[in-house]
Chain A
Amino acid sequence: MRRISFGVALALAVLVAVGVAAAFAPWLVPDATAQDLMTGITGPGPGHPLGTDDLGRDVLQLLVAGARTAVPGALAVAAGSMLIGNLAGLAAGYHGGWVDALAMRWADLMFSLPALLVAIVVAGVLGGGYGLAIAVLVVLFAPGDTRVVRGAVLEQRHRPYVEAALLKNLSSWRIMTRHIWPNIAPVSLASAFLNFAYALVSLSSLSFLGLGVPAGSPDWGRTLADNRTQLLANPWAVIAPGLAVIATAAALNVVGDWLHERVERRGRAH
């Protein structure tokens, strides 16, 4: 068991907490969205450790319920772009030639676009909301994974084990999936963590702008937007979801970087 640094341990703890909140929110905070208009917006007090928002909803409960809104969408983006990136990257790196050229030109084009802005424009004009925003982000994130996987495949391509598999006359699909892929999976996973972080930030940004989740959903970005005019009445309604987004994204980035370093160190040890 290798020792891990304090920072990584803290990041993992944050991710576990967010994961638990996301998985069990319906049982932990069954009536997070229950409004109490008579109470309205109040500061921290008995019964409401972080106070209430302008609809009288408990800020702490909204925070926990917000994890359930934030995580699945971002996870879908990371998983979707990982899938596309792996397929395209394997094909480009293994076959080379025009497949490679085409995939790389496509990646160059997509990579130069600001993903969040494209999502704002497309999701906004089409009015497709959350699902469409996720689809747009998958298309724009996949090129990054494609490049990473392609690079890793090129490194493996001429290793003796691949040549041995070729001599055994195995199909390219089998060589790619059964022989090469297990060796590049860690690289791809590290990249997926970074995408996860970026997707979380992008989706909460869209919700903040009113282009993501529907109104009234317990979402961190949405809660921030709804309460930003009430800073004086209860600043915690803004501080808490703001810190939640920053902490979760930072934790994902720290774990992603840590995985990346581990993969690189192992690669050098070979």
Chain B
Amino acid sequence: MNGWARFALRRLAGTAAVVLLLSIGVFGLLYLAPGSVQQTLLGTRPATPATIAAIQARYHLNDPVAVQYLRWLGGVLRGDLGTSIRTGAAVSGMLGERLPLTLALTGYGTLLAALAGIPLGVLGALRRGRATDRLVVTAGVVGLSAPPFAVGLLLLVVFALGLGWFPVYGTGEGLADQVWHLTLPAAALAVGAVGLLVRFTRAALVRELEQDYVVFARARGLRAPLVLRYALRNSLVPVLTAAGLIVTGTLAGTVLVEVTFALPGLGSLLVDSVTFKDVPVVQALALLLTLLVAAVNLLVDVGYSLVDPRVRLGGAA
């Protein structure tokens, strides 16, 4: 266990270093925005001596940049993400308000993707080379290529306008109604992840079914479902590597889907804030994103090493 603990600790330290490095970039967004920092932070408010003094006091703009960064980081660590330029509200409150919808959307989308992608990949591998397999592979490639906003609008045209099965816009009231309202957005979000899962699951299972132990088990006369269970368990290890890709894809997809379906989540907040140059909100969202991506990559690495001990034995890389 000592070796594994050391492996996990080293990965944790690496992740912390990356997050720290990226947080400098996130802070730097304030300085990247065109015009002076003071102007950016003032936004559309009039530049009176009083407002300028308030900005100076709030952000300590006369301090060296490094000190400003440390102050900002200290605030973030205490949960103070600053105030929105657009609304004047605390950024942390804005994020808290919109987080549940984004979590529900991504959770629902990931569930749909897993329910569709893994069985389709297994089906393709079992019917390898036949018409079913070719259909599954083609569907996977199309899913992988299709941008969520285009898929979302096509789903709207077909299932909301054409067939009238789902509502066009809105988030709904009550649990069942909300699920019903979120189904099309979640499906649009899931399509890319389905493509990835089909590809990874199929490739992994095809490789596994060619292994000697499968041939041997079949020769011994083991029942097909039992053989599949052995092969499936081993093939799910490489599928785990797809998890990181799926999460980053889903995060980007959420932004597009929320805008497409006019849902008030974190993704549409990011687009609104970016368009308005509401830098404190953009910084908070970018930081949240950095933490999420880093945490997922860490979990995938550590989870992988738990499932497959060879990774940490040769784990110098």
Contact = CB atoms under 8 A, between A and B. Distances in A.
Interface in A215-270: 221, 224-225, 228, 231-232, 235, 238-239, 241-243, 245-246, 249-250, 252-254, 257
Interface string A117-141: 1001110111100000000000000
Contacts of B279: 125
A204 B147 contact: yes
Nearest to A115: B252
A127 B34 CA distance: 8
B145 A201 contact: yes
B156 A231 contact: yes
B305 to A, nearest CB: 16
Contact of A245 (B33, B134, B150, B277): B150
B269 interface: no
B252 A211 contact: no
Contacts of B138: 7
Contact of A224 (B144, B150, B252): B150
B65 interface: no
Interface size band for B:
35 or more
B270 A122 contact: no
A250 B141 contact: yes
B87 interface: no
A133 to B, nearest CB: 12
B42 interface: no
B153 A228 contact: yes
Interface in A68-121: 109, 112-117, 120-121
Contacts, number: 131
A112 B294 contact: yes
A235 B21 CA distance: 46
A245 B147 contact: yes
Nearest to B271: A209
Contacts of B297: 112
Interface string B126-161: 000000001000100110111101110110110001
Given A113-B293, A235-B157, A238-B157, A125 B149 contact: no
Interface in B3-25: 18, 21
B106 to A, nearest CB: 13
A126 B34 contact: yes
Interface size band for A:
35 or more
Contacts of B151: 242, 246
Nearest to B199: A257
B154 A242 contact: yes
B251 A121 contact: no
A231 B144 CA distance: 25
Contacts of B286: 121
Nearest to A245: B150
Interface stretch (B75-83, B116-124, B226-234, B255-263): B255-263
Contact of A120 (B34, B142, B157, B255): B255
A117 B153 contact: no
B282 interface: yes
A198 B18 CA distance: 25
Contact of B146 (A121, A208, A239, A250): A250
A114 B293 contact: yes
Contact of A257 (B141, B142, B149): B141
A250 B256 CA distance: 19
B32 interface: yes
Contacts of A114: 248-249, 251-252, 289, 293
A113 B251 CA distance: 11
A124 B275 contact: yes
Interface in B239-288: 244, 248-249, 251-252, 255-256, 259-260, 270-271, 274-275, 277, 279, 282, 285-286
Most buried by A among B147, B252, B271: B147
B73 interface: no
A242 B29 contact: no
B217 to A, nearest CB: 27
Contacts of A61: none
Nearest to A10: B138
B147 A197 contact: no
Nearest to A123: B274
A56 interface: no
B314 to A, nearest CB: 16
Contact of A253 (B145, B157, B259): B145
Contacts of A242: 150-151, 153-154
A235 B251 contact: no
A35 to B, nearest CB: 23
A191 interface: no
A205 B152 CA distance: 12
A186 interface: no
A246 B142 CA distance: 7
Contacts of A253: 141, 144-145
Contact of A125 (B33, B147, B153, B244): B33
14 contacts: A112-B294, A115-B252, A121-B274, A121-B286, A126-B32, A204-B147, A210-B271, A225-B149, A231-B168, A238-B154, A239-B157, A241-B150, A245-B150, A246-B145
